[in-house]
């Protein structure tokens, strides 16, 4: 079963460490009147994640399945979840719904969110932020919980290894390390550095999140605005400058 940690009130981190990738995969469950799961995890982890969710709520009551972008760890097991939770609808960006999710994956039409739209789950309100190409993919979006100021930030602040569930210490340095490492191998250019990168991270910083709930690595509790500004510097340095190019020049 995935490891469970309550990282903010009613927000549970469900984590599995996969040694071959040296990486944690976390999903987040919001326990509320309309329970929300953010990230499904890949299909291979469905049984472990389901067991963890079932220890917290009746799985059949799951109402929303959110994710940032179209990728196995974000939404790969969406159909499995929709089979065990007959009222569960996907919630993603309008682009995600229109371009991929309704056609390729969801058993029922997804709720496509516009930038700034709010999803109310009961006690909690989640602001949807369209963040194209941040962390990556056109359809990318994030959710921000307004009461406890938690940013569900997907691949942002990605850290390697099997770290602690929650930390108050630096996660940006750890993220820089793994980005530098990835630049040397087949996972180079994990995230694009584009005209939207800096402004999007600045916009997220302006929300002043207190908790950064990342998919890979430790959740950060502290000055989220500063962490996001620091992350913007790291992205510019590692991904926007002298990043290793993976294409060879014609001879
Ligand atoms: Fe991703
Ligand atoms: Fe991911």
At 250 the pLDDT is: 47
Pairing of strands 111-113, 64-66: unpaired
pTM: 0.95
CB-CB contact of 130 with 141 (8 Å): yes
Residue 62 located in a structural domain: yes
**Cα 57 to middle of ligand 1, angstroms:** 27
Residue 245 located in a structural domain: no
Backbone angles phi, psi at 166, to 5 degrees: -140, 135
**Cα 72 to middle of ligand 1, angstroms:** 8
Residue 187 lies in domain: 3-238
* Average pLDDT in the chain: 95
Ligand with the closest atom to the CA of 137: 1
**Number of domains into which the chain is organized:** 1
Which pLDDT tens digit goes with each residue over 109-168? Answer: 999 999 999 999 999 999 999 999 999 999 999 999 999 999 999 999 999 999 999 999
User: What are the residues whose beta carbons fall under 8 Å from the beta carbon of 119, sequence distance 6 or more?
Assistant: 36, 64, 66, 91, 111, 113, 125, 126, 128, 143
Distance in angstroms (rounded) separating the CA atoms of residues 91 and 101: 10
**Cα 24 to middle of ligand 2, angstroms:** 9
Residue 249 located in a structural domain: no
At 247 the pLDDT is: 46
Q: Facing residues of 65 across strands? A: 37, 90
Residues around ligand 1, an ion, CB closer than 5 A: 71, 155
Residue 247 located in a structural domain: no
Q: What is the CATH number of the domain that holds 154?
A: 3.60.15.10
Tokens, residue 229? 């500004």
CB-CB contact of 175 with 231 (8 Å): yes
Residue 96 located in a structural domain: yes
Question: What is the torsional sign of CA 101, 103, 109, 114?
Answer: positive
Distance in angstroms (rounded) separating the CA atoms of residues 185 and 189: 9
Give the pLDDT band (50/70/90) at residue 244.
very low
Ligand with the closest atom to the CA of 18: 2
């Amino acid at each position: 079963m995935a490891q469970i940690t309550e990282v903010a009130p009613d927000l549970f981190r469900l984590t599995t460490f996969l040694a071959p990738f040296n990486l944690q995969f976390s999903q987040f469950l919001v326990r509320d009147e309309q329970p929300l799961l953010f990230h499904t995890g890949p299909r291979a982890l469905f049984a472990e994640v389901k067991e963890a969710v079932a220890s917290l709520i009746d799985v059949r009551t799951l109402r929303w399945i959110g994710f940032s972008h179209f990728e196995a760890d974000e939404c790969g097991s969406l159909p499995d979840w929709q089979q065990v939770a007959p009222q569960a609808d996907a919630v993603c960006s309008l682009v995600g719904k229109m371009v991929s999710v309704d056609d390729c994956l969801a058993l029922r039409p997804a709720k496509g969110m516009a930038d700034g739209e709010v999803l109310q789950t009961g006690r909690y309100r989640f602001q949807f932020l369209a963040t194209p190409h941040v962390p990556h993919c056109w359809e990318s979006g994030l959710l921000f919980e307004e009461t406890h100021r938690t940013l569900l930030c997907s691949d942002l602040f990605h850290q390697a290894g099997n770290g602690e569930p929650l930390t108050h210490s630096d996660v940006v340095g750890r993220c820089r390390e793994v980005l530098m490492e990835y630049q040397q191998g087949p996972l180079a250019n994990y995230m694009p550095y584009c005209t939207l990168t800096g402004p999007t991270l600045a916009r997220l910083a302006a929300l002043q999140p207190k908790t950064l709930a990342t998919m890979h690595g430790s959740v950060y509790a502290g000055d989220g605005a500063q962490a996001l500004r620091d992350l913007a510097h790291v992205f510019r340095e590692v991904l926007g400058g002298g990043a290793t190019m993976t294409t060879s020049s014609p001879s």
